[in-house]
Amino acid sequence: MSLSRPKGTRMETIDHLISAHWVLPIAPTNTILENHSVAIHHDRIIDMLPTADAEKRYQPQQKTTLKDHALMPGLVNAHAHTPMNLFRGLADDLNLMDWLQNHIWPAEQALINAESVAIGCQLAIAEMLRGGTTCFNDHYFFPDTIAKSAIAAGIRSCVGLVIMSVPTDWASDEDAYFAKAKQTLENFADNPLITWSIAPHAPYTVSDASFTKIRELNATLKLPVHIHLHETAFEVDESLKQFGKRPVQRLHDLGLLTPELIAVHMTQLNDDDINLIKNAGSHVAHCPESNLKLASGFAPIGKLIDAGINVAIGTDGAASNNNLDMFGELQTAALLAKAQSGNPTCLPADEALAMATINGAKSLGLDKEIGSIEKGKAADLIAVDLSHFITQPVYNPMSHLAYAVNSQQVSHVWVAGQCLLKEGELTRLNTDALLDAAKPWVEKAAKFGSEKA
Amino acid sequence: MSLSRPKGTRMETIDHLISAHWVLPIAPTNTILENHSVAIHHDRIIDMLPTADAEKRYQPQQKTTLKDHALMPGLVNAHAHTPMNLFRGLADDLNLMDWLQNHIWPAEQALINAESVAIGCQLAIAEMLRGGTTCFNDHYFFPDTIAKSAIAAGIRSCVGLVIMSVPTDWASDEDAYFAKAKQTLENFADNPLITWSIAPHAPYTVSDASFTKIRELNATLKLPVHIHLHETAFEVDESLKQFGKRPVQRLHDLGLLTPELIAVHMTQLNDDDINLIKNAGSHVAHCPESNLKLASGFAPIGKLIDAGINVAIGTDGAASNNNLDMFGELQTAALLAKAQSGNPTCLPADEALAMATINGAKSLGLDKEIGSIEKGKAADLIAVDLSHFITQPVYNPMSHLAYAVNSQQVSHVWVAGQCLLKEGELTRLNTDALLDAAKPWVEKAAKFGSEKA
């Protein structure tokens, strides 16, 4: 506390004051504040101000000083299949249909239930927290289990209520998926960390009738609708054959293109597709590493940005990436957008960081709550230690966060003010116990793997 | 040592036995050996065998047991500008010519001398060793300083003797560069860690007369020739205007396309270019992250592989990447090759790892010495700890090394048998002292940076 504080000044007692070398609030854009502090009370950000002023104004119960760190909003992973952490590296370097039909789907049929989903999901949460992700948008079976896992771990999530025609242990047909979705929503007690989306799998696994039901649900519930869309050229071609129109056009005609739609992948787009998305105010979740690995194609990020479409960033599942490293993903996004557009000024560092934070929050309808460091928002924050020689010298911390940082440099993570990572160590999840619990599932999964040397 | 060893068996005394859960020798390709050991004596690999056998046969002075690790040959960074670590993040998100002319070149003019080169180079070596690189192919001014820095740090390198028409503190014109190159070669005492290349900067900064001299030197000395080639469409267009031919054709006509040529970048290639490289037996150093960041384009890796061309992987300098993380680079290469070729089976995990090791060694003419774990080769080895939950479960360690691993999981690095990284800590370089020494240079460089928020 400053010795120069005038005697008798009334100081405000707060829970926590975090002081950092650099604070990147993300809103306003492209802003770097030096020697600033963020004041937290209960689960909220109540102030952001120069550290010298903060020390005169606030009497914190707890004080965290981050002298070599950048403090920024937590990363928002806009597309994940968390339980698939159990399948990381199970099968690689295959054609998409071979990968799905001969490896991933059989493994899911054999293994996926509430128990395995809980273990895989918690391992994924551990990985995401370690790398600075404070909120994830999930799309998988057993959403109630995923929500419970997220709450127990203290991370924020938007949990997809999956709808598809393919039978699984979760539901046997589209009607059963709807029933399960309804039941999950009704039975689950409100929790500030959990929101829900309706999650139709993809245009090729959901019928027009079901899309119509989803549109009606969307109109009533105003939940985000989270769908894989235009992932591959094959998907677009099949839609043209079966429906005589491209998937985006089909969803438009069915009334699904709304400001609540999160369209994941979007690698195969013509100008008409882009205009439809733009006019609807729908969101794109860009998963560059998965798109590259499966050779799905290149999402035209420069064009989407120019059209004013909100683009967020997601990792996809660990079976097709093969990590949930959002700093790595935003680096890939920032690099790839330049080459794809032929313009080295496309998606500069500050915009890439915004994509991975506030744009993700917008896509989930959570931008009043998270995605930037602003008074009144939830205290979802991360600190990144830039003192390591792999990020020295520091001319501009934003450049390093976009282009140089290693996710293991994330030192602290707070969600709703709760510290979930401290000096690089997880505070809640016991990963050794989780890996032990995973063992029998891993043994079962191994037989669905691609042939080894 | 095994208790069941028959009494009286004569054991061989060796310096070091490294036993690992997995050994990936790289040659033969796509091989994963479980519970194997590598026997090292002096600076050489003298054996690779099952650990149970090794414990009966060898009496090591030192024993390293790596129970959760993959042991593999050290990574070979096929293209670097190590001193540019001083400029990491100095200027980003700019058009190439703006970046070069208004930021990088002025900073180099103002700062680059033997002292700054030594500091930047050592910081780069620290970063490379931390991430598992045991050999780098450098291209910069003050090559004698770079070679000395490498020897002091214990890392292996091929040091480029730069030739160009642009005046610098190192040399004032092409003749002066040749004189400096000759002088460096003559004055430098032989060292087993150092080899040399002739390093013409690029087709647009080197005259035909100099290329002819380089051809003559190459014919006599048989040194690798290390050049930036077909980096951008602009370079190709300018060559067509000035010389009436594409740069690859020009180099061919000047006799530069030989089995000693390392052509860096190669993003703008037609079938004729590829045929010329193929027929010459020249090598390509692929720098995917730099090519993406500067929007230079996409090297057609699938086509180069199909043509049978040896492709290695390089990071380029920290000013255009912005890290020297070879695991990250090989992951990017493996992902990008798939999307660029439209084929998800292109550049599978084992081939990506070979590119980053044995192919790099081949490009430097060092494949008899390094690049794989084989009897008689130098003991340039790295261990990667896969026990972290970010690389669990392990169905196939090769998949994780190509697609999931974080470079901070590199636990041990040996070059010529000397341990340079132990349990993640550098054993020789003092990075705090280096960062202190860098400070005055960083202050001077800062004024050449891109404008900040």
Does residue A453 fall inside a structural domain? Answer: no
Residues B359 and B237 in one domain: yes
Residue A295 lies in a domain: yes
Q: What is residue A299's predicted lDDT score, i.e. its pLDDT?
A: 98
A31, A92, A343, best to mutate vs chain B, most B CBs in 10 Å: A92
- Per-residue confidence band for A260, with pLDDT thresholds at 50, 70 and 90: very high
pLDDT, residue B3, reads 46
Contacts of B172 (CB under 8 A, 6+ apart): none
- Closest CB to A400: pick one of B30, B89, B127: B89
Statement: residue B451 has pLDDT above 90:
no
Cβ separation A339–B30 shorter than 8 A = no
Q: What is the pLDDT of residues B342-372, one digit of tens each?
A: 999 999 999 999 999 999 999 999 999 999 9
Residues of chain A neighbouring B434 (CB-CB closer than 8 A) = 389
Instruction: Check A431 against B389: CB less than 8 A apart.
Output: yes
pLDDT of residue B96: 82
Q: Is A422 on the interface with B (CB under 8 A)?
A: no
What average pLDDT does the segment A222-237 reach? 97
Decide: helix, strand or coil at residue B143.
helix
Measured CA to CA, the distance from residue B75 to residue B29 in angstroms comes to: 15
Residue A298: closest C-alpha in chain B: B339
What is the predicted pLDDT for the residue at B9?
67
Q: What is the pLDDT of residue A315?
A: 98
On whether any CB of chain A is under 8 Å from the CB of B245, the answer is no
pLDDT (0 to 100) of residue B6: 53
Give me the mean pLDDT over the A288-298 stretch.
Answer: 97
Q: What is the CATH number of the domain that holds B178?
A: 3.20.20.140
Which residue is it, tokens 């395995």? A116
* pLDDT the model gives residue B1: 40
**CB nearest B123 (choices: A318, A322, A389):** A389
My answer on whether B306 and B408 are in the same domain is: no
Shared domain check, B280 and B298: yes
Sign of CA dihedral B53, B56, B61, B66: positive
One domain, residues A104 and A236 = yes
Q: Rounded to an integer, what distance in angstroms lies between the CA atom of residue A322 and that of residue A319?
A: 6
Q: What is the pLDDT of residue B97?
A: 83
Cα–Cα distance for residue pair A399/A386, rounded to 1 Å:
11
Are the C-beta atoms of A117 and A150 separated by less than 8 Å?
Answer: no
Q: Which amino acid is located at A171 in the chain?
A: A
**Percent of chain A scored above 90 by pLDDT?**
96
Contacts of A406 in chain B (CB under 8 A): 323, 325, 406-408
**Number of domains, chain A:** 2
A68 and A169 part of one domain: no
A154 with A255, same domain: the answer is yes
> In the predicted model, is pLDDT for residue A399 greater than 80?
yes
B164-189 confidence digits (pLDDT tens): 999 999 999 999 999 999 999 999 99
Q: Is B86 on the interface with A (CB under 8 A)?
A: yes
Q: Which residues of A357-373 are buried (b: 16+ CB within 10 A; e: fewer)?
A: bbbbbbbbbbbebbbbb
The reply to whether A193 touches chain B by the CB within 8 Å rule is no
User: Does residue B42 have a pLDDT over 60?
Assistant: yes
Domain range for residue B62? 12-73+381-415
What order of strands is seen across the sheet that includes strand A156-163? A75-80, A133-138, A156-163, A194-200, A225-229, A261-265, A283-286, A310-313
Q: What is the pLDDT of residue B2?
A: 44
Q: With CB atoms and an 8 Å threshold, state whether A348 touches B93.
A: yes
Does residue B145 sit within a domain? yes
Whether A369 is in a domain gets the answer: no
pLDDT of residue B196 exceeding 90, the answer is yes
Distance CA(B327)–CA(B335), nearest Å, equals 12
Q: So what's the pLDDT on residue A6?
A: 53
Query: How many angstroms away from the CA of B60 is the closest CA of chain A?
Result: 30
- Structural domain includes residue B119: yes
Identify whether A2 is part of a domain: no
Which of B363, B397, B430 is the endpoint of a domain?
B363
Name the band, by pLDDT with cuts 50, 70 and 90, for residue A392: very high
Gap from A95 CA to chain B (nearest CA, Å) = 6
Indicate whether A281 belongs to any domain.
yes
Q: Taking Cα atoms as reference points, which of B356, B353, B287 lies closest to residue B316?
A: B287
Q: Give the gap in angstroms from C-alpha B391 to the nearest C-alpha of chain A.
A: 8
pLDDT at B194: 98
> Is-contact B197 B160, C-beta < 8 A?
yes
Mutation choice for B interface testing from A26, A320, A324, A395 by most B CBs within 10 A? A395
Q: Do A344 and B295 touch (CB under 8 A)?
A: yes
Cβ distance B31 to A453 less than 8 Å, yes or no, reads yes
Mark whether A271 and A128 lie in a shared domain: yes
pLDDT at B47: 98
Which of B97, B290, B396, B451 is best to mutate for the A interface (most A CBs within 10 A)?
A: B396
Mutation target among A29, A385, A392 for the B interface, most CBs of B within 10 A: A392
Decide if A93 touches B, using CB distance below 8 A. yes
Is A406 touching B (CB cutoff 8 A)?
A: yes
User: CB A434 to CB B389 under 8 A?
Assistant: yes
Average pLDDT on B296-325 reads 97
Q: Do B344 and A398 touch (CB under 8 A)?
A: no
- Sign of the C-alpha dihedral, residues A434, A201, A155, A409? positive
Over range A329-344, report the average pLDDT.
Answer: 98
pLDDT digits (tens, 9 = 90+) for A297-325: 999 999 999 999 999 999 999 999 999 99
CATH number of domain containing B19: 2.30.40.10
pLDDT of residue B405: 98
pLDDT (average), residues B239-263: 98
The reply to whether B332 and B218 lie within a common domain is: yes
pLDDT value of position B8: 56
The tokens for B297 are 């384009």
Same domain, yes or no, for A113 and A57? no
pLDDT of residue A438 exceeding 70: yes
With respect to residue A119, please indicate whether it lies within any of the assigned structural domains: yes
pLDDT band at A95 (very low <50, low <70, confident <90, very high): confident
Provide CB contacts within 8 A for A165, sequence distance 6+: A173, A174, A205, A206, A207, A210
Q: Which residues pair with A283 in a beta bridge?
A: A262, A310
Which residues from chain A sit within 8 angstroms of residue B298, using beta carbons?
Answer: 339
Average pLDDT over residues A190-216: 97
ipTM of this complex prediction, to 2 decimal places: 0.96
pLDDT at B174: 97
Contact predicate A379/A416, CB 8 Å: yes
A residues 262-291 near B, CB within 8 Å? 289, 291
Looking at the fold, whether A295 and A194 belong to one and the same domain comes out as: yes
Task: Tally the residues of chain A.
Answer: 453
Q: Closest residue of B to A290, CA-based?
A: B335
Q: How many CB atoms lie within 10 A of CB A377?
A: 23
Reported confidence tier of residue A96, pLDDT bands at 50, 70, 90 = confident
* Helix/strand/coil (H/E/C) assignment for every residue in chain A: CCCCCCCCCCCEEEEEEEEEEEECCCCCCCCCEEEEEEEEECCEEEEEEEHHHHHHHEEEEEEEEEEEEEEEECEEEEEECHHHHHHCCCCCCCCHHHHHHHHHHHHHHHHCCHHHHHHHHHHHHHHHHHCCEEEEEECCCCHHHHHHHHHHHCCEEEEEEEECCCCCCCCCCHHHHHHHHHHHHHHCCCCCCEEEEEEECCHHHCCHHHHHHHHHHHHHHCCCEEEEECCCHHHHHHHHHHHCCCHHHHHHHCCCCCCCEEEEECCCCCHHHHHHHHHHCCEEEECHHHHHHCCCCCCCHHHHHHCCCEEEECCCCHHHCCCCCHHHHHHHHHHHHHHHHCCCCCCCHHHHHHHCCHHHHHHCCCCCCCCCCCCCCECCEEEEECCCHHHCCCCCHHHHHHHCCCHHHEEEEEECCEEEEECCEECCCCHHHHHHHHHHHHHHHHCCCCCCC
Is A62 part of the contact surface with chain B (CB cutoff 8 Å)? no
pLDDT tens digits along A246-256: 999 999 999 99
CB contact under 8 A, A88 and B452: no
Q: Cβ separation of A389 and B435 shorter than 8 Å?
A: yes
Calculate how close chain B gets to A336, using CA atoms only, in Å: 6
CA dist list (Å): B65 to B4, B68, B200: 20, 9, 44
Q: Looking at beta carbons, which residues of chain B come within 8 Å of A289? A: 335
Task: Supply the pLDDT for residue A161.
Answer: 98
Helix (H, G, I), strand (E, B) or coil at B40: strand
Shortest Cα distance, chain B CAs vs residue A13, angstroms: 32
Binary contact (A344, B294; C-beta < 8 A): yes
**Same domain assignment for residues A401 and A287:** no
Each residue's pLDDT tens digit, B61-76? 999 999 999 999 999 9
How far apart CA B11 and CA B9 sit, in angstroms, is 6
Instruction: Report, as an integer, the average pLDDT of A383-390.
Output: 98
Note whether A335 contacts B289, CB cutoff 8 Å. yes
Q: Are residues B33 and B156 in the same domain?
A: no
Residues 315-354 in B contacting A (C-alpha not used; CB under 8 Å): 318, 321-323, 325, 328, 332, 334-336, 338-339, 341-346, 348-350
Question: B370 in the Ramachandran plot: left (φ > 0), alpha (ψ -120 to 50) or beta?
Answer: beta
Residue A3 in this model has a pLDDT that exceeds 90: no
